[in-house]
Amino acid sequence: MSPASSAAQAARRRSAGTAAPKLAVPALTAARRPRKVSTVEQTLDNGLRVIVVRRPSVPMFELRLAVPFFSTRSTHHARSMLLASTMLSGTDRHDRHGLATAAGQLGAEIGLSVDPDRLLLSTSALATGLRPMLDLVAEIVTGASYPAREVAGERDRLVDRTQVSRSSAGVLAGDAFARRLLPGHPYGQALPDEQQIAATTATQLRALHRSLVRPEGAVLVLVGDLSPARAVAAVQAALAGWTGAAEVSPAKPVPLVGHLPLLVVDRPGSVQTSLRFGGPALPRTDANYPALQLANLAFGGYFSSRWVENIRENKGYSYSPRSLIDHARLASTFELTADVATEVTAPAVLETLYELGRIATRPIDASELESVQQYAIGTLALATSTQAGLATQLSALAGAGLGTEWLAEHPARLLRVTTEEVAAAAHRFLAPQRLVGVAVGDAGQITDPLSSVIDLA
Amino acid sequence: MPATATLPSLSFELIHHRLNNGLQVVLAPDRRAPVVGIGVVYDVGFRSEPQGRTGFAHLFEHLMFQGSANLEKLEHFRYVQASGGIFNGSTHLDYTNYYEALPAHALERGLFLEADRMRSPRITAENLQNQIDVVKEEIRVNVLNRPYGGFPWLMLPEVLYTTFPNAHNGYGGFEDLTNATVDDAAGFFDTYYAPSNAVLCVAGDLDAEPTLDMIEHHFGGLRKRRKPARPTFGEPAPTGELRREYHDPMAPTPALAIGYRVPDPNADLHVYLASVLLAEILSEGDASRLQRSLVQSQRLVNDAAAYLGTFGDPLEERDPTRLNISARYSDRAQTEQVIAAVDAELDRLATDGTEPGELDRVKVRLASIVFHELDQVVNRSLEFSKFQTVFGDASVILQLPALLAQVSDADIRAAAARLRPDSRAIVELVPGGAR
């Protein structure tokens, strides 16, 4: 490359401010409304709620089966994780290989995940495979057998995976943060206990399955290239033999922790510090939620936010700082995450506290409000424009008691929010004096600098 | 189930056009949802970056977001997001892509934003220093501070290959990143970001004719430059088994990765697709060979994976490219046993071929993954522009179900037989983390 090419000279001219007259950025044209999402819903005799949407964009369908799985038992986290790892390892009709083969022939792989609120079975398959897939799901929920040999193998693998997770700074930070914000609650723990996993037996998994994997209160969502009426009939036929109600744990109140000093968790040799700050937030059903949603976006919830522009685009402290509002059934939380170089840990915390304090005490501009409103509305439309995105969204909303009307009405709710309402929400929930925080990093290097900008635990 | 007979096909109308400055355009109209995807693929990846500038293609990708001829720093992504859209870019071995997913009413704005940085990105010393810092944080969070970070994509090439373009670390060394200059960036832009070296694909809720007019209006005036000649990058396959250890201070357990050269995808796609299906047979799901044998039956490893290319997209690289097999296990003393178990599975496939139904199953599964991917409008714009760049034809992705259907058991046996112990690279990850 020649050392001073014409483009380099042009770049220097531009930075000196002698550029040619600017071209105007094109205006937006008239917005087109997303097509209304019309669902067919039915609660079957066995208590299973079925939600079906026809969306023939590709010759596939998406399936989400969410089963309430909350429990306050101290062993529940470890057992539910192992249950999710072994539920597909055999049924009364198929062994593990047979199950995977049957799904694979439909173009599918079945995924299982579990959180404190629910067990979620997710898959997508060729549209022609709807009935066989529903039969397979029925076989799993009514006939998962937890073969002793498979349970033993998966138990060792889950212990191994948990230990690998513990070696990750980000996972450690998430776990420490959850324990600090929600102590003693099933939500207050990101990692299961290895000893409890190791002590779990196939018999215990079968008992857990019998008591909680029940249709009453469960929600099945189907989205794709299908006929809703025929899909509901197929679900009815395939899953009629799945019966009963779960032995539900009482909802445990979520502890509301106020402000706490920053907890430093030592990870010797860490070249970065994983920062987490957060506190309680509002559920989607609260009248002030849209304002809080927009306050979070303006603070750190999208790339154009104050915090991201400050600590990434201005200072270069972090690659992907972000903040979000997480909704569990019994609690919503505000959380911010950043991994920053060890040597800039204290300055990064200082800027974070500054941006939190600024948004909590001074209103945002009208232009910022319009930007976050458009972003929230546009990304909701994008997220629900695919079979998979819509299925995931509807499944999550159903878990919160909300439906497609929430999706349809949310843009109007966002557009009604004022800068004053955003300020009030930020004042209540984003103020640094209302948050708890953890910093996972090399304590020997970060403790002293941090102590000059924030109280440490 | 006679799977290959029941595979549905996808039909998307593709409209091709080329501007006078050489920019290739692909439109994929689909009016079902009021969203559009804009994808721009430049035919340059980290294989093309110069010696002493490892990581430069990726650093340059960051610089493309720092403002442009008519936009100040921060304005590019503010305009996208304030229009209700999302954006990103990514750097690959053979290409670099940029995209926006937007509400349909922001289509022309999105085209303007892409055209403006194709005209000239705003590369200043200050922006460069800022993004060098950000890229270093990206490497810290994804590699240096993470157990198994960058394994094996950063470690395997330097053992499998001997020439700089193929062998070097695509994230880059900190020293090379620090040494990058504004002039380097200007030169790289001038050579590789010519309109003639790019493909623009717009997918989603659009009318073809007015969209082509808009594209002509915003991109047509961009300065025409010669498409840079692409070197072959070819080099001989290893003539032995090449081994190296990599010490990971954070990892709690050992792992290994094996790299094999595979046939040139551009020379004979049919032969190459047998390797793609072979990787699926080896490690996709609970019914796959490595899962059943190494994980479930022998309980020798905790995880196993087989995939093609640097990042697992089997259809994004030209020759030379590779098939990777990786595994994580509990004890270093088992390393030879794990390698032997992989060899035994490959031998079994090379000798006995697939089981009844096995090949059809992975064909259906792979076609389903393609359908699933193409349901998202922005993926369509990225996939069509990638296929146009790498295979010279955007529609190849739509032909995949039919092309996969032609792969036979004999093709799979041959693909397995090509993965020879006497021509491969093995990197053993030695764990330094406490268990």
Residue B81, domain member (yes or no)? yes
Closest of A342, A353, A354 to residue A317, by C-alpha: A342
pLDDT at A7 > cutoff 90: no
B249/A269 Cβ within 8 A: yes
Is residue A288 located within the same domain as residue A158? no
The answer to whether residue B226 sits within a structural domain is: no
| Mean pLDDT, rounded, for A307-326 | 96
Residue B163 is assigned to a structural domain of this protein: yes
Q: Which of B7, B83, B374 sits opposite A378 (nearest CB)?
A: B83
Q: Which pLDDT does position A238 carry in this prediction?
A: 98
A194 in contact with B, Cβ within 8 Å: no
Give yes or no: residues B326 and B291 share one domain. Answer: yes
Beta pairing class for B322-328 and B86-91:
unpaired
Residues B275 and B386 in one domain: yes
Residue that terminates a domain, selected from A181, A207, A239: A239
Instruction: Say how far apart CA B220 and CA B37 lie, in whole Å.
Output: 20
User: Does residue A18 sit within a domain?
Assistant: no
Same domain, A298 and A174: no
Query: Which of A54, A122, A304, A343 is best to mutate for the B interface (most B CBs within 10 A)?
Result: A304
CATH number of the domain to which B305 belongs: 3.30.830.10
Residue B137 sits in which domain range? 3-219
Residue-level pLDDT at B409: 98
| Overall number of domains in chain A | 2
| Cβ pair A5:B104 closer than 8 A | no
The model's pLDDT over A394-413, given as tens digits with 9 standing for 90+, comes to: 999 999 999 989 999 999 99
Shortest CB distance from B253 goes to which of A58, A164, A304?
A: A164
Computed on alpha carbons and rounded to an integer, the radius of gyration of chain B in Å comes to: 22
pTM recorded for the entire structure? 0.95
Provide the pLDDT for residue A20.
Answer: 58
Q: What is the CATH number of the domain that holds A131?
A: 3.30.830.10
Q: Does residue B91 or residue A30 have the better pLDDT?
A: B91
Instruction: Answer yes or no: do B403 and B292 share one domain.
Output: yes
Question: Is B101–A382 a contact, with Cβ atoms under 8 angstroms apart?
Answer: yes
Tell me: do B166 and B209 sit in the same domain: yes
Contact B435 A96 (CB under 8 A): no
Q: Considering the domain boundaries, does residue B260 fall inside one? A: yes
Examine the pLDDT at A255 and tell me if it is beyond 90. no
Domain count, chain B: 2
A269 touches chain B (CB under 8 A): yes
Among chain B residues, the shortest Cα distance to A24 is held by B70
Could you tell me if residue B389 is inside a domain? yes
Give DSSP secondary structure letters for B183-247: HHHHHHHHHH--GGGEEEEEEES--HHHHHHHHHHHHTTSPP-PPPPPP----PPPSSEEEEEEE
pLDDT at A1: 30
CB B347 within 8 A of CB B326: no
Examine residue A257 and state whether it is found in any structural domain, yes or no: no
Residues 271-300, chain A: which have Cβ within 8 Å of B? 271-272
Q: Specify whether B111 is located in the same domain as B199.
A: yes
Task: Name the residue among A166, A168, A389 with its Cβ closest to that of B146.
Answer: A168
Closest CA to B204 of B103, B87, B80: B103
Residues B213 and B255 grouped into a single domain: no
Query: Do residues A312 and A425 share a domain?
Result: yes
Query: What mean pLDDT is reported for chain A?
Result: 93
Scored b (16 or more CB within 10 A) or e, A261-300 reads: ebbbbebeebbbbbbbbbbbbbbbeeebbbbbbbbbbbbb
Q: What is the pLDDT of residue A12?
A: 34
Rounded mean pLDDT of A133-146?
98
Its domain, for residue A138, covers 39-239
Query: Would you state the structure tokens that stand for residue A419, as one six-digit string?
Result: 């800068």
pLDDT of res. A256: 74
Q: Are B185 and B256 part of one and the same domain?
A: no
Q: For A227-237, how does the pLDDT look when each residue is reduced to its tens digit (9 = 90+)?
A: 999 999 999 99
CB contact under 8 Å between B32 and A35, yes or no, is yes
User: From first to last of its 435 residues, what are the pLDDT tens digits of chain B?
Assistant: 334 446 777 888 999 999 999 999 999 999 988 999 999 999 999 999 999 999 999 999 999 999 999 999 999 999 999 999 999 999 999 999 999 999 999 999 999 999 999 999 999 999 999 999 999 999 999 999 999 999 999 999 999 999 999 999 999 999 999 999 999 999 999 999 999 999 999 999 999 999 999 999 999 999 999 999 999 999 999 999 999 999 999 999 999 999 999 999 999 999 999 999 999 999 999 999 999 999 999 999 999 999 999 999 999 999 999 999 999 999 999 999 999 999 999 999 999 999 999 999 999 999 999 999 999 999 999 999 999 999 999 999 999 999 999 999 999 999 999 999 999 999 999 999 654
Is B366 among the domain residues? Answer: yes
Which long-range contacts link A360-368 to residues 24+ away (Cβ below 8 Å)? A360/A426, A360/A427, A360/A430, A360/A431, A360/A432, A361/A427, A361/A431, A362/A423, A363/A419, A363/A420, A363/A422, A363/A423, A364/A295, A364/A298, A364/A419, A364/A422, A364/A423, A364/A426, A365/A419, A366/A419, A368/A298
Query: Which pLDDT belongs to residue B32?
Result: 87
Q: What percent of chain A has pLDDT over 90?
A: 88
Task: Answer yes or no: is B116 within a domain.
Answer: yes
B267 and B316 share one domain: yes
Note whether A122 and A72 are same-domain residues: yes
